[in-house]
Amino acid sequence: MFKRSLLFVCAALLAAGVGAGAGEIRKVMIIGNSIMKHGVAPQLGWNSDWGMAATAQEKDYAHLLHRKICDLVKQEKAPELQLAWISSEKEMKGWDALKGNDADVIVIQISDNYRGKKNKEEFQNNYSQMIRDLRGDRDPIIVCLTNWGDGPLNEMIRAAAAENGVLSVNLAPLAADPANKAGSEGHFKNGGVNWHPGDRGMAKIAEATFAAIEKPLREKAAK
């Protein structure tokens, strides 16, 4: 009888996820563009392979954010960091490969390279569908970052996030401050590189994103 009761308790605990990392944050997936990661481009004076235009990998926003998440959850095994892209940011299409993902936290940081029509039918609806497809039948923490600038796309990103009940962060105020652009730090000469966030800007993006997800992260980690 005792063994049978013990087996029943163990089965109940496993069903509830207790002892199986129910509240563990196993993976953080960041979907981005050159601000997240850009390969070596000597023609631009960019000879690194991390978020343009940070001066070191540990100073780009993706790795800063990941570090903040790791520090918060304090797990024996740190969450995996996955950097991902959609196949056509210019058209806001091509996330099929990311469907069925197993990320516990999803950061969406795309739209800077979008070249289609800036309307609900062509941009916002696609962006909204992307959120739904990335979520699938799970309930990951999802946060959408607006582009590194301003304009109607930002409003549509925030609207798509609200429509789907996920978080959003407006980067426009950060981008509007010249001190957050790489050009203010004097490490690069190319105008395209200097348009990107420098070390200060990267830190600000990481801080703003972490502030948005901190509460749900704590709640998820506590389960």
Determine contact, residues 181/37, Cβ cutoff 8 Å.
no
pLDDT at 14 over 50: no
Per-residue pLDDT reduced to its tens digit, 134-174: 999 999 999 999 999 999 999 999 999 999 999 999 999 99
Q: What are phi and psi of 50, to 5 degrees?
A: -150, -165
Please compute the mean of the pLDDT values over residues 73-98 and round it to a whole number. Answer: 97
Q: What are phi and psi of 65, to 5 degrees?
A: -65, -45
How far is CA 58 from each of CA 112, 147, 188, 206, 209, rounded to the nearest angstrom? 23, 22, 18, 12, 16
Give 68's contacts (C-beta < 8 A, 6+ positions apart): 206, 210
Spans of all domains in the chain:
23-221
- Please tell me the CATH code under which domain 23-221 is placed: 3.40.50.1110
Tokens for 108? 């969406």
User: How many CB atoms are closer than 10 A to CB 142?
Assistant: 22
What does the pLDDT read at residue 221? 84
Q: What are phi and psi of 84, to 5 degrees?
A: -140, 160
Residues found in the chain: 223
Smallest CA-to-CA distance from 91 within 125, 131, 136 is with 125
What does the pLDDT read at residue 4? 44
Per-residue pLDDT reduced to its tens digit, 175-223: 999 999 999 999 999 999 999 999 999 999 999 999 999 999 999 888 7
What does the pLDDT read at residue 23? 82
Determine the Cα–Cα distance for residues 30 and 85; give it in Å rounded to an integer: 8
Region of poorest pLDDT, from 11-15, 78-82, 110-114: 11-15
Determine contact, residues 101/130, Cβ cutoff 8 Å.
no
**Which amino acid, residue 66?**
H
Q: At what angle do helices 61-73 and 199-221 cross, to 10 degrees?
A: 30
Tokens for 94? 């091509």
